Amino acid sequence: MNILKTLLIKCSVLPYPIDRQQAENLNQHYEREDIPSLIILKPNCEILTSETDEELISTNAIEKWTESKTVFWTPESRNSSGQVWLDIYCRTCYMKPLVGERYGCPNRECSYDLCAECYHKITKENEHNHELIHFLSPKNKYSIEQLLDYSDLISNQNERVTLKSYEGKYIGLYFSGLWCQTNENFASDLAQVYEKVIEINLPFDIIFISTDNSQNMFNKHCQQMPWKILPFDNYVTKLRLKTYFSVSILPAFIILKPTGELLTKSGQRDINIKKIEAIQTWCKDEKVEHSSDDFVWSSVTCDGCGMMPLIGKRFYCETCSNYDICTASKEKGHEHELILIAPLDEID
C-alpha cells in the first residue's frame, strides 16, 4: 500500500469533483473496501486490473497498463504440468501463480521468488542479496536422503550421524519448538513411545526439526531428546521440508515410508490416541484408523466437564451456540436438543 501512496503523490492526480452519493455509488460498483485503492480501466472502461498495489512492485507497471497489459501473467493451463505455487509469483517475469521449479529467498521478509527460467538467467548485476534455495515440489516424490538434502544429523551429545543409519526404516519427522505450548505433553508421550520402539526393535526412527528461535532455545529443547536432530543452523533443509509438507500447525509429526513416500501427516493425533500401537501400524505400511469414540477435537473444550481437548463424540447445542459437550456430559442432561458433529476428515 505504501507504493501506491507514493505513486499517488508522484503522479499528478486530478481530483474528480463528485459528491458523497456518487462516491458511494462508485465504491459499491467496484466493491472497494480498503483505501487508498487504485483501479486501472481500459479506454473502454473495462477493468484492466485492481491488483495494483502488488503490480506496482514492477517499475514498468504503468508502461504495461498503457499497453493494455497487466504486470502479472498466468501460464496457460495446458502447459502447467509442473507444481502450481499458489500466491507465489516470479519477481522477474511476474508469472503468477508461479508454475514449475521454484527458487526463493529463505528470508520471509524478502518474499522473493523466481521461476526456473528467470533463475537460470541471473547475472551478477541483477543478483538478489541473499542466496536462493531450490524448493522441493510437493507434486514430486523424493527419497529420505533427497528430502533431507543428504545432511548429517546430530545426537543430543552433538555426535554426527549419517542418514545411512536410517535405511529401511519408517521415519517420523517431528516439527516443534520450545515456545509451542501444546508441545510438552506430546514430547513426553513421544519419548515414552520411543523407548518402547527401541525395546521391541521396530524399524522406526524419529528426526527432530526445530522451529526454535535461537541456538540457546534449541540446545535446551534438544537436551532430553533420545532421537536424532537436524542441526539448528541447517535452516535451508528445515524451510524446504516445512514447505514441502506444508507444515503450519505445531507440533507436527509426519510419517514417511522407508522410500520417503508420505504415509500420514496425522502422526501427532495417532500417537496421542494409540501410543506405540500407532507405530506398529505404520511399520505394517498402514494408516491408523480412528473411530468417532477416540477422535480428538484439538481446539474444542467440553462446556460440561471442561475436558480439553474434547475426545470422542462431540454434541453441539444450537440454542446456546458455541456450546459443545462430550458423551459423559450429555448423559447428565442438557435443556436443549443437541446435534452430533461428525469428525473432520483426515488432515492428509
Instruction: Single out the residue of 304, 281, 174, 255 nearest to residue 312, CA to CA.
Output: 304
Instruction: Compare residues 135 and 194 and give the one whose CB is closer to Zn ion.
Output: 135
Q: Does 118 engage in binding with Zn ion (CB under 5 A)? A: yes
Q: Does 130 engage in binding with Zn ion (CB under 5 A)? A: yes
Instruction: Compare residues 96 and 265 and give the one whose CB is closer to Zn ion.
Output: 96
Cα–Cα distance for residue pair 128/123, rounded to 1 Å: 10
Instruction: Compare residues 6 and 319 and give the one whose CB is closer to Zn ion.
Output: 319
Q: Does 90 engage in binding with Zn ion (CB under 5 A)? A: yes
* Prior bond of 75 cis (ω within 30°): no
User: At CB < 8 A and 24+ separation, what contacts does 291-299 make?
Assistant: 292/342, 292/343, 295/343, 296/269, 296/272, 297/324, 298/269
Q: Which residue has the cell 505400511?
A: 285
Minimum distance, C-beta of residue 194 to Zn ion, in the bound complex (Å)? 31
Q: Among the candidate windows 170-178, 236-244, 264-272, 316-324, which touches Zn ion by CB under 5 A?
A: 316-324
Q: Does 326 engage in binding with Zn ion (CB under 5 A)? A: yes
Q: Among the candidate windows 72-80, 113-121, 207-215, 240-248, which touches Zn ion by CB under 5 A?
A: 113-121
Q: Does 105 engage in binding with Zn ion (CB under 5 A)? A: yes
Minimum distance, C-beta of residue 211 to Zn ion, in the bound complex (Å)? 20
Cα–Cα distance for residue pair 151/160, rounded to 1 Å: 10
Q: Among the candidate windows 111-119, 254-262, 275-283, 286-294, which touches Zn ion by CB under 5 A?
A: 111-119
Q: Which three cell numbers stand for residue 132?
A: 536462493
| 3-class DSSP assignment, residue 339 | strand
Cβ neighbours of 347 (radius 10 Å): 12
Minimum distance, C-beta of residue 260 to Zn ion, in the bound complex (Å)? 29
Judged by CB under 5 A, the residue of 93, 122, 273, 283 near Zn ion is: 93
Instruction: Compare residues 118 and 296 and give the one whose CB is closer to Zn ion.
Output: 118
Q: Does 121 engage in binding with Zn ion (CB under 5 A)? A: no
Judged by CB under 5 A, the residue of 57, 320, 341, 343 near Zn ion is: 320
The residues near 147 (Cβ < 8 Å, ≥ 6 apart) are 136, 240, 241, 244, 256, 260
Instruction: Compare residues 85 and 175 and give the one whose CB is closer to Zn ion.
Output: 85
Instruction: Compare residues 113 and 212 and give the one whose CB is closer to Zn ion.
Output: 113
Under the phi-then-psi rule, with left for phi > 0, alpha for psi from -120 to 50, and beta for the rest, what region is 341? beta
Under the phi-then-psi rule, with left for phi > 0, alpha for psi from -120 to 50, and beta for the rest, what region is 76? beta
Residues that bind Zn ion (CB under 5 A): 90, 92-93, 105, 107, 110, 115, 118, 130, 302, 304-305, 307, 317, 319-320, 326, 329, 336
